[in-house]
Amino acid sequence: MAAFSIYNQVLISSNDMAQALDIIILAAGKGTRMLSERPKVLHELAGKALLQHVLDTAKALDPALICVVYGYGGEAVPQAIADSSIKMVKQEPQLGTGHAVQQVLPHLSEKHVTLVLYGDVPLINRETLRPLIRVAQDNKVSLLTIEMENPQGYGRIIREGGKVKRIVEEKDASPEERRVTEVNTGIMVLPNRFLPAWLAALKNSNAQGEYYLTDVISLAASAGVEVVTAHPAHHREVLGVNSKGQLAQLERMYQQEHAARLLDSGVTLLDPQRIDIRGELVCGRDVVIDVNCLFEGSVILGDGVKVGANCVLRDVNIGRECNIEPFSLLEKASRGAGCRIGPFARIRPGTQLADEVHIGNFVEVKNSQVGFNSKINHLSYVGDATVGSRVNVGAGTITCNYDGANKHRTVIEDGAFIGSDTQLVAPVKVGKGATIGAGSTITKDTPAGELTLSRAKQISISGWQRPLKKAKD
């Protein structure tokens, strides 16, 4: 048994561990119960593909190689990932998990260990995986298992004298074996030096007619290689997705876990059950978030920020003491301190708001800069504009920025007052301290400090009558 002697008794540092690690992610399955043409691993949890969650965890372990085994859906998986640092290997036909790992064998280093993950198990924690990797680097096999009161559907861990001897899939298990409550999660770490012989020895004489990767456990035990098991901190880490119902359950678990972290960090959530985070949410002190808010991409909320009910924030940076009123949508923009936005406001990409800006109800701002203490409070559209400080934009104002082919810019200088129902036809500039009379259509630059009007003469038409509604036949 000299070939299986332990060659390294030293606990390896995390950096050395990363240099000696290969990772295989199995992602070839169709997911029949998903009832979808999309490969199962591309369905989204918290706004990100299941497979991408696993890839992010894998990258955090800093491995020498990450290899994704794909199959169903043709090139949909590699096209969706589009990451040159990931090795993509196609499994065709798909003859089981053991066969999948066989396809990767030419890319593995004999001196490394291989961690096997699954593209439909998105919540696995990297801190759960690190001890498994260290164990395998002592020339052992490490296996992640869990205890389940109802293990139906899972492969059972079969022990003799306390030592793992094999894994038996439920369809192949005897009645006695089915009573075992320790089950296989599928996640394991294997020393690569043994893999060529073990994979070559796999047989498909089972109920599924497939080559099971789990059969390497019995091969390892027979060869005198110790199989060490560990349990995850939470069962949710190893839950897979096989149906839309299971996907929805994992979504709630994911959101509840993030809500708990926010609460622990001092954020006030008026209802922790009604928040969705689809990216990264960073909060300062004394942040308050009302119900049914959605955070996508990278969102930063400064100290004292209040987010009203039913808001959507996507890739935004909100300055301290800002108040986001209910039903507002903010996307790819930045806000200064002390701003008030909404309700029912839409802030579109490219917008920058200075301190103490007010954006009111049913106001849309796009690709614009709005200066200190300026106010756009009612029913207005401001696009492709530069608005100075202390500007007041009246209700119903529109910057007419599009001529049917090209976008043009509007400049409103400091202290200007724009009357209600004004159209500013870009390119145009409103001078510093200028006033635009209500109901004006401005097509030329207006002088600083003066009142500019553009109105037709008011007349009354004698004898005019309103149209009458036609009688129905």
Domains and their CATH numbers in the chain: 2-238 (3.90.550.10), 244-452 (2.160.10.10)
Q: How many CB atoms lie within 10 A of CB 355?
A: 17
Mean pLDDT, rounded, for 146-168: 93
Residue 260 has pLDDT above 60, yes or no: yes
Q: What pLDDT is recorded for position 460? A: 66
List residues with catalytic annotation. 378
- Interior/surface letters 283-305, b for 16+ CB within 10 angstroms, e for the rest: bbeebbbbebbbbbeebbbbebb
State the chain's mean pLDDT as an integer. 92
Spatial distance between the Cα atoms of 415 and 221, rounded to a whole number of angstroms: 81
Mean pLDDT, rounded, for 163-184: 94
Contact 340, 322 (CB under 8 A): yes
Of 360, 312, 362, 358, nearest to 335 by C-alpha is 358
* pLDDT, tens only, 24-42: 999 998 889 999 999 999 9
Q: What pLDDT is recorded for position 351? A: 97
Q: What pLDDT is recorded for position 75? A: 92
pLDDT range class, residue 363, cuts 50, 70, 90: very high
Spatial distance between the Cα atoms of 71 and 26, rounded to a whole number of angstroms: 10
Residue 43 has pLDDT above 70, yes or no: yes
User: What residues have CB less than 8 Å from 200, skipping those under 6 apart?
Assistant: none
Higher-confidence position of 290 and 13:
290
Spatial distance between the Cα atoms of 199 and 215, rounded to a whole number of angstroms: 9
Mean pLDDT, rounded, for 128-141: 92
Residue 375 has pLDDT above 90, yes or no: yes
Q: How many CB atoms lie within 10 A of CB 329?
A: 19
Residue 5 has pLDDT above 70, yes or no: no
Spatial distance between the Cα atoms of 332 and 6, rounded to a whole number of angstroms: 54
| pTM of this structure | 0.85
Higher-confidence position of 419 and 153:
419
Percent over 70 (pLDDT), the chain: 95
